[in-house]
């Protein structure tokens, strides 16, 4: 059969023909091809969604793959088709593919979840489907491409509080920290990770996990220093949330990672929100909640207090650097010692980022 010369009517006829599986597979492949770049075709073939979902339950791996890829392209940038795909029962077989030993099918399944999770109205259904624990496992064990798509899907789903609770139950923080450590700081995947982490640290379990994970707070500080503008905004938001919730508990772990220089820079060069949050966090870090008579500590706090009092929305970079130079001359307790240790350690090379990290995947 030369599917490239079939009319849309003929393709729809074949996709509904349950008695001819080979023709259904060819029709699914043609639907995938035609819907790759055409929104008109996505609307035209929306009636193929139910038979394609039925093909996901076939015993034929070829039928599974052809149908999944066709559904993926039908869903991209089409909210109505996303809703129809979920309501047709696609989530259960897609979740089963997330567990597949076939890495290609697993990648296709994650891509489908990414695209469906961009739906405005089906995030709760996707969260309740059982997909979230498997997405988090993929963060640890999946291919690089699957990991990147999984974090985007989790980020999309996390805008619903119920989904955020499910994400937290699967203890994602160690995996997020590992991605932050091994990915380019300015990459989109780092931006998605730190955004999700900012949401999670509203919960005590996530804060404990982050501070217990070796290099966890440091990974956030490094994003604050070297991430994209949005990543730096999320990083300072993460640390600020922790400090606002329990200043006594988190002030020292944050200071120990040498956060002050990055915060000072953000008050000058960050986004408007990052500037405000950096300024607020500096104030929270300025004075210890405990009585500490040591001269070093008092000197540090006096200098920090002086710096904060001089910084305003119009502060120039040169002045900030001058104040920073003054501060660096003073012993910064454990923070300075840790900065010196960091300077002596070779950091791992950043991994290349090759996958799409938009809210929906690249068309297949």
CA dihedral 268, 273, 276, 278 (to 10 degrees): -70
Can you give the pLDDT at residue 6? Answer: 83
The yes-or-no verdict on residue 229 having pLDDT over 80 is yes
Cα 327 to Cα 300: distance, rounded to the nearest angstrom: 8
CA-to-CA dists, residue 98 to 45, 117, 149, angstroms: 26, 15, 12
Can you give the pLDDT at residue 364? Answer: 67
pLDDT tens-digit profile of 76-128?
999 999 999 999 999 999 999 999 999 999 999 999 999 999 998 999 999 99
225: CB partners within 8 A, 6+ apart: 185, 232, 261, 262, 265
Under the banding of pLDDT at 50, 70 and 90, the label for residue 62 is very high
Average pLDDT over residues 171-197: 95
Token pair in block for residue 101: 């030993």
Give the single-character DSSP code of 361.
Answer: P
pLDDT tens-digit profile of 4-19?
568 999 999 999 998 9
Mean pLDDT for the chain overall: 85
pLDDT tens-digit profile of 7-57?
999 999 999 998 999 999 999 999 999 999 999 999 999 999 999 999 999
Cα 232 to Cα 313: distance, rounded to the nearest angstrom: 18
Q: Residue 183 forms beta bridges with which residues?
A: 351
With contact defined as beta carbons under 8 Å apart, do 110 and 153 qualify? yes
Cα 232 to Cα 25: distance, rounded to the nearest angstrom: 47
What domains can you pick out in the chain, each with its CATH number?
Answer: 171-355 (1.25.10.10)
pLDDT tens-digit profile of 272-316?
999 999 999 999 998 665 544 444 444 455 555 565 555 544 444
Token pair in block for residue 353: 């980022």
């Amino acid at each position: 059969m030369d599917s490239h010369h079939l009319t849309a009517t003929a393709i729809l006829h074949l996709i509904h023909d349950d008695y001819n599986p080979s023709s259904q597979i060819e029709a699914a492949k043609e639907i995938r091809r035609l819907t790759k770049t055409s929104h008109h075709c996505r609307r035209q073939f929306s009636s193929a969604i139910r038979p394609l979902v039925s093909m996901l339950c076939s015993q034929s791996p070829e039928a599974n793959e052809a149908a999944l890829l066709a559904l993926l392209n039908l869903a991209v940038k089409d909210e109505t088709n996303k809703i129809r795909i979920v309501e047709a029962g696609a989530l259960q077989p897609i979740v089963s593919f997330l567990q597949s030993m076939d890495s290609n099918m697993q990648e296709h399944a994650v891509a489908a979840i990414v695209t469906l999770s961009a739906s405005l109205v089906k995030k709760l259904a996707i969260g309740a489907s059982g997909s979230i624990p498997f997405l988090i496992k993929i963060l640890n064990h999946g291919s690089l491409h699957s990991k990147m798509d999984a974090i985007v899907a989790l980020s999309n789903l996390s805008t619903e509080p119920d989904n955020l609770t499910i994400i937290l139950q699967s203890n994602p923080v160690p995996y997020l920290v590992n991605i932050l450590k091994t990915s380019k700081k300015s990459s989109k995947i780092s931006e998605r990770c730190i955004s999700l982490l900012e949401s999670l640290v509203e919960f005590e379990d996530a804060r404990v996990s982050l501070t217990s994970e070796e290099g966890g707070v440091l990974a956030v500080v490094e994003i604050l220093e070297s991430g994209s503008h949005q990543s730096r905004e999320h990083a300072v938001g993460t640390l600020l949330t922790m400090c606002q919730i329990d200043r006594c508990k988190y002030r020292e772990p944050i200071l120990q990672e040498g956060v002050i220089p990055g915060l000072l820079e953000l008050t000058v060069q960050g986004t408007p929100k990052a500037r405000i949050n950096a300024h607020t966090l500096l104030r929270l870090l300025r004075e210890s909640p405990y009585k500490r008579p040591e001269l070093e500590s008092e000197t540090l706090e006096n200098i920090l207090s002086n710096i904060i009092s001089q910084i305003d929305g119009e502060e120039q970079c040169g002045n900030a650097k001058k104040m920073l130079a003054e501060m660096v001359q003073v012993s910064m307790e454990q923070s300075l010692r840790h900065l010196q240790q960091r300077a002596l350690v070779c950091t791992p090379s950043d991994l290349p980022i090759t996958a799409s990290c938009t809210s929906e995947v690249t068309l297949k």
